């Protein structure tokens, strides 16, 4: 498969790129800064330098041409202000979905956030983030041209992955290593029966492959 990842230099994306390339997939990661390219090559991914805050739909669609799946894993990141939550966490996600439809890439995964809700209230930066992610999720769900799956992990950690998770429409809050989120995304890419599902994930007691099979088609 050829898989294109938006936010290709993110912590989850780099882990996912290593997993996908190791199993023989062709992986491209969209990055904003040219100096990040070597990190992607080390992870086994082709770097594509493109700023999703200023690129056109046609430019992003060109990067997606020929892909079997697209993964939106970009984010404004900690320390960014509310305006960038809007331009990256919402607008860039919508742009990437528009481009996937234009390029004919049906399989579309989103790394969202637990608690994402366009109607979330509050004036803090994190409140703006949850609204932006929720709005992006709603925009993706409204697209009949995409076979989408939205993943909302719990509190992300850099602990070593265990390969054991809880995966459901609602899990309750809890932590999950980024290693396990990447492994879960790799499994979801290969499981089109999860199309149309919004899933929460935290650490648990079920192997990733078993957990995905358990929700597929539900």
User: How far is CA 212 from each of CA 5, 65, 129, 148, 159, rounded to the nearest angstrom?
Assistant: 20, 28, 27, 15, 22
3-state secondary structure the chain: CEEEEECCCCHHHHHHHHHHHHCCCEEEEEECCHHHHHHHHHHCCEEEECCCCCCCHHHHHHHHCCCCEEEECCCCCCCCCHHHHHHHHHHHHHHHHHHHHHHCCCEEEEECCCCCCCCCCCCCHHHHHHHHHHHHHHHHHCCCCCEEEEEEECEEECCCCCCEEEEECCCCCCEEEHHHHHHHHHHHHCCHHHCCEEEEEEECCEEHHHHHHHHCCC
b/e per residue 21-46 (b: at least 16 CB within 10 A): beeebbbbbbbbeeebbebbeebbbb
129 belongs to the catalytic site:
yes
Considering 72, 96, 108, 129, which one is annotated as catalytic?
129
The residues annotated with a catalytic role in the active site are 129
């Amino acid at each position: 498969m050829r898989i294109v990842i938006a936010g290709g230099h993110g912590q989850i994306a780099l882990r996912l790129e290593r997993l996908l390339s190791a199993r023989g997939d062709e992986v491209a990661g969209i990055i904003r800064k040219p100096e990040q390219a070597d990190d992607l090559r080390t992870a086994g991914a082709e770097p594509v330098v493109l700023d999703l805050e200023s690129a056109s739909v046609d430019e992003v669609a060109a990067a997606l041409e020929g892909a079997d799946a697209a993964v939106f894993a970009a984010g404004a990141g900690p320390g960014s202000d509310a305006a960038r939550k809007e331009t990256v966490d919402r607008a860039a996600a919508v742009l990437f979905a528009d481009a996937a439809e234009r390029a004919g890439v049906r399989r579309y995964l989103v790394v969202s956030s637990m608690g994402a809700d366009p109607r979330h209230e509050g004036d803090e930066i994190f409140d703006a983030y949850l609204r932006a992610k929720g709005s992006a999720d709603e925009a993706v769900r409204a697209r009949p041209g995409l076979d989408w799956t939205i993943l909302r992990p719990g509190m992300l950690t850099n602990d070593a992955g265990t390969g054991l998770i809880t995966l459901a429409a609602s899990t309750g809050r809890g932590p999950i290593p980024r290693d396990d989120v990447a492994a879960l995304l790799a499994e979801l890419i290969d499981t089109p029966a999860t199309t149309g599902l919004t899933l929460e994930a935290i650490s648990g007691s079920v192997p990733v492959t078993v957990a995905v099979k358990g929700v597929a088609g539900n």
